[in-house]
Amino acid sequence: MALVRLPKGMSETDAQADVTVVLPDGSELHVPSGSTVEDVAYEIGPGLGRDTVAGKIDGELVEKHAPVYDGARIEIVTDQSDEYLQVLRHSAAHVFAQALQRLHPEATLTIGPYTDEGFYYDVTDVDLDEDDLSAIEDEMDAIIEADYDIERVVRSREDAREIYAENEYKREILDDEASGEEVTFYKQDGWQDLCQGPHVESTGEIGAATLLNISSSYWRGDEENDTLTRVYGTAFATEAALAEHLEMRAEAKERDHRKIGQEMNLFSIPTVTGPGLPLYHPPGKTVLRELSDFANELNRENGYEEVETPHVFRTELWKQSGHYENYKDDMFLLDVNDEEYGLKPMNCPGHATIFDQSTWSYRDLPKRYFENGKVYRKEQRGELSGLSRVWSFTIDDGHLFVRPDQIRAEIESVIDMIFEVVETLDLEVDVALATRPDKSVGGDDIWESAEEQLRDVLESGGYDYDIEPGDGAFYGPKIDFGFEDALGRVWDGPTVQLDFNMPERFDLSYTGEDNEEHRPVMIHRALYGSYERFFMVLIEHFDGDFPLWLAPEQVRILPVSDESLGYAHRVKNALAEEGFRVEVEDRDWTVGRKIRQGHDDRLPYMLIVGPDEESSGTISVRDRFENEADEVDPDAFVDHLVAERDEKRTEPDFLAE
């Protein structure tokens, strides 16, 4: 819930002059001063104007009544746009809130945004549990069936405060976010909610909605504030789309990395260790070690040198870097001998300090450092979730110190490395340019230059990308890559960030060809993002069925009886000599039971050996797809396995047709 205000970048002067806006194809359109997104759509064509549901201004989703300004990049959102689902879900959040207050008039509403998966609404002064959701859903269905018009209403700020005289949360929103004398409400069937939109035209456009679960939350996400009840839901334009989503959600539950992690003994986060502090068990550490070796190999091949920095620094370093003023609330701070220290939330200040310990010529650049560095961030406990959000995690960090003329080539090289990771693991990525946040360091010229250079790399490279307004790091803009998993979900992943500010703060320099001192540019990059979140993505993407090169146990040998144990161990030794992770299943089980257990343990390959195999010097091979072959030459199998592992193929393919 928010208020009507001038979009970012728009001044009062802008609102008084004719303006030129930029359309998605790069063309420019001149529109009268005071024009809205809807007006722009009608200028393009009457049909588009009639179909306009909302818009995007510089990548930010806005209502169709939002004013445009000179130089704004404009996109029109219709019911055929990807963003339409966000608008529809925002309206579904209002339908939930109306239904809740019909059944529980005592309920106090706070905020209710759309999310990637649906929507949620935080409420208080009402006692809800999972059993209450069905009745609320029924009431939502009635509101949708009634097809009420959703009307935008402009009210004075004073009137809004009177409406919310008994709602301290809405009053706080009014006090903190109001930038003008008027605010907007959205109204349906006499019920209304403070909101800047956008919304669909009527409740009937929400073809299907459901409530998913209830959890607790904190007002403004701060655990020092009031505890609220958060109700999650989702909505789609059709029942069929909702059914498909719920089916995918059920599959996602089966793929949940916490469930699979326990089944495969990969990791645990016990209460006794503290929240968000994972422990990696031997099988999980095996996967992480393989990922680390892969990243280290890529780094060395591309001219990076490995460095190491400590887990804790004096806060003087964090003050110099800017993290203290911008990140202090998310840092773990401690006093040692009357001096303040902080666990590092990022690795970059340490790398900048290493660079600063030497004298550099323009011939020495670029200088590329990498470190698998453990960092610590004090996330709110309610936001911690398995490996996706933790207090302690490892970044496959890299920092480059480059001349300005080297920026483009180095960013392109980083992107090539990221796509090598993506292609090796058979992933898809979404690409986005994240621009200057409200809380940032550095001047306007620096930020504009940095954003333009990143945009130029993306556009000249032919990448499809979105704009993420305000999502850049506090020291510079970035290109973000989101990993898309087997279920189509997108997770935060690699990043490349352009930083003109930290070299200034650390007074970094190199001697140029003109014999004068020059300031290097710093590039921050990660190929995975964090190992923890990337591990989570891979667990769920592969459903625990890791490729051979990542699998904690790559081959298991199943002797049909104790008489074949000797031959089983000879086969094991031949595989172990080639560096494979191989075990012999020597429990007193039937072969059928051993095979079932091997499938449950998600093994790429099982080898069955008995008297026939021993006498012929062969093996029987079975893969995770239940393909099998008898009388296989062990040497041929080992040769194939070496190739499959070293080429990092994503599926066991010895028995592939």
Report the binding-site residues. 348, 399, 524
Tokens of residue 71, six digits: 């130089």
Task: Give the ranges where 255-331 is alpha helix by DSSP (H).
Answer: 257-263, 282-301, 315-321, 323-327
d(CA 56, CA 400): 34
What is the DSSP secondary structure assignment for residue 473, as one 8-state letter?
B
Residues across the chain: 657
φ, ψ for residue 398, nearest 5 deg? -140, 140
Residue 502: how many CA atoms within 13 Å on its side-chain side?
31
Measured from the Cβ of residue 221, the count of other Cβ atoms closer than 10 Å reads 12
CB 223 within 8 A of CB 128: no
Q: Provide the CA 511 distance to its chain's centre, in angstroms.
A: 39
Looking at residue 437, what DSSP letter applies?
-
Beta-carbon count within 10 A of 164 CB: 18
**Beta-carbon-side half-sphere exposure of residue 73 (alpha carbons within 13 Å):** 11
Tokens representing residue 168 in the block: 């301290």
How far apart are alpha carbons 427 and 627 in whole angstroms? Answer: 25
C-alpha dist (Å) from residue 319 to 46, 322, 333, 447, 616:
55, 5, 13, 21, 71
Is the C-alpha dihedral spanning 538, 543, 549, 552 positive or negative?
Answer: positive
Place of tokens 């009745």: 135
Question: Cβ distance 283 to 266 under 8 Å?
Answer: yes
User: What torsion, rounded to 10 degrees, do the Cα atoms 606, 611, 612, 614 define?
Assistant: 70
Q: Nearest-CA neighbor of 620 among 547, 552, 577, 557?
A: 557
* Cβ neighbours for 525, distance < 8 A, ≥ 6 positions apart: 397, 398, 399, 400, 414, 494, 495, 496, 497
Torsion of CA 349, 439, 468, 295, to 10 degrees: 10
R_g of the chain computed on alpha carbons? 29
Contact, 122 vs 229, CB < 8 A?
Answer: yes
Query: CA 650 to CA 541: how far, in whole Å?
Result: 12
Annotated binding site for Zn(2+): 348, 399, 524
Query: Which tokens go with 194?
Result: 């403070």
Pairing outcome for strands 339-343 and 312-314: antiparallel
